[in-house]
Structure 1
Amino acid sequence: MRFSSLGLIGLGAALALTSFVSSASAVVTFNQNLASGWTQGSGTSNGHFTVDSEDNGVELGLRASLRFIGPITPTGNLYIAPAGNSSGKALWNFEFSVNPGSLTGTHSLLTITGPGGSLAFDPIIIGDNTPIGGPLYQNSENLGFAFLGGPINFNPNVSGVYTFDLKLFSAENRQLADVSIQVNAVPEPSTWAMLILGFAGVGFMAYRRKSRPAALAA
């Protein structure tokens, strides 16, 4: 079978368009509400999620929040959180939402990487996900929780960057969606103030020691 040069050009353009449409189906947006809503916890609101929305109602969401306060407003997919602890737990949580939409037989993979190591697991194994038993499940977790903190040697008082990557796969193990965020844990303002005062005190003592011999010589 022969194709004219014009036909080949047309075929190539059609394939390129198909490839573009296929690759453009993934839509990752920032600082968004979840279309599926947020049902985890009492008093916590929807919003400030990094979201991947796909065909068939598939939606993945990730965000960071301050414990007992509310979600952190990100810059892109970067969330700034305070380092430090309360009762041994980090002052911030990571929160996720997995909605496979109309698809069945899907599975997820959540990979967490931090200064102390990395951990990867299917978040559906977490026992208190909500809604329980439904295709949509969500949760708010803390790296200080024993089953999460141990494998990555998490220390809530240590500053550092934590990466969370959430993927959804089909029953045939084909990747359907992917969303990731970074959480930069930094010292609280009060900690910075104490550090600055500490450095100032050290500098003042060094100045006094340096100036004392000159005063005695005079």
Structure 2
Amino acid sequence: MRFASLRLIALGATFALTSFARPAAAVVTFNQDLASGWTQGTGTSNGHFTVDTEANGVELGLRASLRFVGPITPSGNLYIAPVGSTPPGSALWNFEFSVNPGSLLGTYSVLTITGPGGVLSFNPQIIPDNTPLGGPLYQNSENLGFAFLGGPLNFNPNASGIYTFDLKLFSAQNQQLGDVSIQVNAVPEPSTWAMLILGFAGIGFMAYRRKVRPANLAA
């Protein structure tokens, strides 16, 4: 009995030390402002981000927005975007990211995009036109229709599809420091849906008329 009690005490002490040593869990919030602020580009405002906030000062954000209009209001981390294109073959929607490594040095990020046509992973920090803020924070607004993204993904802006964006931050020792993801469902606009419904109704009515007409002639 004494040895069993000692084992239980040892296990309890080990668990307590392990729990104390573990870092605080990440907090992922939805439809939020970035605490770091949104400074990339003009004409767009902060808000509607899915945000991972870490105790070490790391903040990662992702969102989808209507091109030249503004952010899309999500449901959780799900963003509904319209199918369609603007010249020269860009989607009607953008994805936007923000990476703030806080005071940590030597970090790097990986953005993985998964779509119907393929998967692409890259370090978004290497995009040449990231907002120059004179600090560790970097942000950008990108479109899957841009050649360096759309080519590897076989992206078609006029086709419906589900796209997953996953943004991770790593230390120089390859330890994961943060992770945030969103899903963008590209679907036909409501007007397109209405036209499709009317089209199907018209086809059904024509089929009904063809079926009824022979019956009337036979009578």
Tell me the TM-score normalised to structure 2 length: 0.91
**CA distance in structure 1 between the partners assigned to 2:8 and 2:99 by the alignment:** 46
Whether 2:65 is the aligned partner of 1:65: answer: yes
Q: What amino acid sits opposite 1:18 in the alignment?
A: F
- The runs of 5 or more residues in structure 2 that have no matched partner are none
Whether 2:149 is the aligned partner of 1:148: answer: yes
Whether 2:159 is the aligned partner of 1:158: answer: yes
CA deviation after TM superposition for structure 1 residue 17, in Å: 2.5
Q: What amino acid sits opposite 1:77 in the alignment?
A: N
CA deviation after TM superposition for structure 1 residue 16, in Å: 4.6
Name the structure 1 match of 2:20.
Answer: 18
CA deviation after TM superposition for structure 1 residue 138, in Å: 0.3
Name the structure 2 match of 1:203.
Answer: 204
Whether 2:193 is the aligned partner of 1:192: answer: yes
Aligned length: 215
CA deviation after TM superposition for structure 1 residue 33, in Å: 0.8
Name the structure 2 match of 1:170.
Answer: 171
Q: Aligned with 2:97: secondary structure?
A: strand
Q: Aligned with 2:112: secondary structure?
A: strand
- Give me the identity figure in percent: 79
Alignment of 1:2-13 (within 5 A): 4-5=6-7, 7-13=9-15
Q: What amino acid sits opposite 2:17 in the alignment?
A: L
**CA distance in structure 2 between the partners assigned to 1:38 and 1:112 by the alignment:** 22
Q: CA RMSD in A?
A: 1.9
Name the structure 2 match of 1:83.
Answer: 83
Taking a change above 3 Å as real, the CA distance of residues 216 and 181 of structure 1, as seen in their structure-2 partners, is: same
**CA distance in structure 2 between the partners assigned to 1:7 and 1:210 by the alignment:** 82
Name the structure 1 match of 2:36.
Answer: 36
CA deviation after TM superposition for structure 1 residue 12, in Å: 2.9
CA deviation after TM superposition for structure 1 residue 66, in Å: 0.8
**CA distance in structure 2 between the partners assigned to 1:133 and 1:202 by the alignment:** 60
Tell me the TM-score normalised to structure 1 length: 0.92
Q: What amino acid sits opposite 1:40 in the alignment?
A: Q
Alignment of 1:93-132 (within 5 A): 93-131=94-132
Q: Aligned with 2:153: secondary structure?
A: coil
Q: What amino acid sits opposite 1:59 in the alignment?
A: E
**CA distance in structure 1 between the partners assigned to 2:27 and 2:206 by the alignment:** 57
Q: CA-to-partner distance for each residue in 1:94-130, whole Å, 9 max, x for gaps?
A: 0000111111111110000011111000001211110
- The runs of 5 or more residues in structure 1 that have no matched partner are none
Q: CA-to-partner distance for each residue in 1:149-205, whole Å, 9 max, x for gaps?
A: 111111111112100000000011111111000011111011101101111111111
